[in-house]
Structure 1
Amino acid sequence: MPAIVIAEVPTVKLPNGAEMPVIGLGTYKSAPGEVTQAVKDAIDIGYRHIDGAHFYGNEKEVGEAIRAKIAEGVIKREDIFYTGKLWNTFHRPGAVEPALRTTLADLGLDYVDLYLMHWPVAYEEGGDLTPKDANGKIVFADHDYVDTWKALEEVCEKGLAKNIGVSNFNKEQLERLLKTARIQPVTNQVECQPLLAQVELSEFCKSRGIVITAYRPIGGLGKPGEPKLREDPKLASIAKKYNKTISQILLRYQVDRGHVAIPKSVNKSRIKENFEIFDFELSKEDVKLITSMDRHLRLCQIPDWIDSPYYPFEK
Structure 2
Amino acid sequence: MNPRFKVPQINLKSGTGKIPALGFGTAADPPVDSGTTKRAVLEAIELGYRHFDTAALYNSEQPLAAAIAEANDRGLIKSREELFITSKLWCSDAHGPYVLPALKRTLKNLDMDYIDLYLIHWPVSAKPGKVEYPIEPEDFLPMDFESVWAAMEECQRIGLTKAIGVSNFSCKKIQQILATAEIQPAVNQVEVNPCWQQKKLIQLCKDKGILVVAYSPLGAVGTFYGTNRVMESQVLKDISKAKGKTVAQVSLRWAYKQGIGVVVKSFNKERMK
Give the TM-score category using the shorter length.
Answer: over 0.9
1:24-39 → structure 2 map (5 Å cutoff): 24-29=23-28, 31=32, 32-39=34-41
Indicate the residue corresponding to 1:47 in structure 2: 49
What is residue 230 of structure 2 aligned with on the other side? Answer: 229
Asked if structure 2 preserves the Cα contact closer than 8 Å seen for 1:35 and 1:62, the reply is yes
Which residue matches 1:8? Answer: 6
Structure 2 contact 89–121 (Cα < 8 Å) conserved: yes
Query: Is the Cα contact below 8 Å between 1:35 and 1:61 reproduced in 2?
Result: yes
Indicate the residue corresponding to 1:199 in structure 2. 199
Quote the Cα distance in structure 1 between the aligned partners of 2:134 and 2:269: 36
Distance in 2, matches of 1:138 and 1:39, equals 36
Answering whether residue 192 of structure 2 is matched by residue 170 of structure 1, we say no
Residue in structure 1 matched with residue 19 of structure 2 by the alignment: 20
Letter aligned with residue 99 of structure 2: V
Percent of residue pairs bearing the same amino acid type: 39
2: distance between equivalents of 1:220 and 1:128? 23
Q: Does 1:102 align with 2:105?
A: yes
Q: CA separation of 1:104/1:131 partners in 2, compared to 1, >3 Å: closer, same or farther? A: same
TM normalised by structure 1 equals 0.80
SS at match of 1:209: coil
Residue 239 of structure 2 aligns with which residue?
238
What is the Cα deviation at residue 243 of structure 1?
1.3
In the alignment, the residues of structure 2 paired with residue 148 and residue 235 of structure 1 have an alpha-carbon distance, to the nearest angstrom, of 41
Secondary structure, aligned partner of 2:22? coil
More strand by share: 2
Q: C-alpha offsets along residues 242-291 of structure 1, whole Å, 9 cap, x if unaligned? A: 2111111111111111000001111111111xxxxxxxxxxxxxxxxxxx
Q: CA deviation at 1:28?
A: 1.0
Q: Which residue of 2 aligns with 1:309?
A: none
Alignment RMSD (CA, Å): 1.9
How far is 1:61 from its partner?
Answer: 0.5
The answer on whether the counterparts of 1:51 and 1:262 sit within 8 Å (CA) in structure 2 is yes
**Post-superposition offset of 1:223:** 5.3
Q: Secondary structure at the match of 2:125?
A: coil
Q: Please state how far the C-alpha of 1:35 moved relative to its aligned partner.
A: 1.0
Q: Which consecutive unaligned segments of at least 5 residues does structure 1 have? A: 273-315
TM-superposed CA distance for 1:227, in Å, is 3.6
**Match in the other structure for 1:281:** none
Q: Partners in 2 of 1:164 and 1:17 — Cα distance?
A: 10
SS at match of 1:24: strand
User: Contact (CA 8 Å) 1:25, 1:263: kept in 2 or not?
Assistant: yes
Matched position secondary structure for 1:82: strand
What runs of 5+ residues in structure 2 fail to find an aligned partner?
Answer: none
The 5 Å alignment of 1:55-204 reads 55-75=57-77, 76-130=79-133, 137-204=137-204
CA distance in 1, matches of 2:146, 2:25: 27
Amino acid at match of 2:161: A
| Corresponding residue number in structure 2 for 1:292 | none
Aligned residue for 2:108, secondary structure, equals helix
Residue aligned with 2:85, SS = strand
Which of 7-16 and 117-126 deviates more? 7-16
Larger-Rg structure: 1
What does the per-residue CA deviation read over 1:31-56, in whole Å, with 9 as the maximum and x for residues that have no partner? 22311111111111111100111101
| Distance verdict in 2 for CA 1:60–1:94, change over 3 Å | same
Kindly provide the CA deviation profile for residues 210-251 of structure 1, in whole angstroms up to 9, marking residues without a partner as x: 000001000033258934321222111111122111111111
SS of corresponding position for 1:189: strand
Shift of 1:128: 4.9
Corresponding residue for 1:275? none
In structure 2, how many angstroms separate the alpha carbons of the residues matched to 1:82 and 1:204? 25
Deviation digits for residues 45-99 of structure 1 (CA, Å, limit 9, x no counterpart): 1111001111011211011111221222322211100000000000121111111
The question of whether the paired residues in 1 share the 8 Å contact of 2:195 and 2:229 is answered with no
Contact persistence 2:156–2:164 (CA under 8 A): yes
The answer on whether the counterparts of 1:111 and 1:162 sit within 8 Å (CA) in structure 2 is yes
Residue identity in the other structure for 1:210 = I
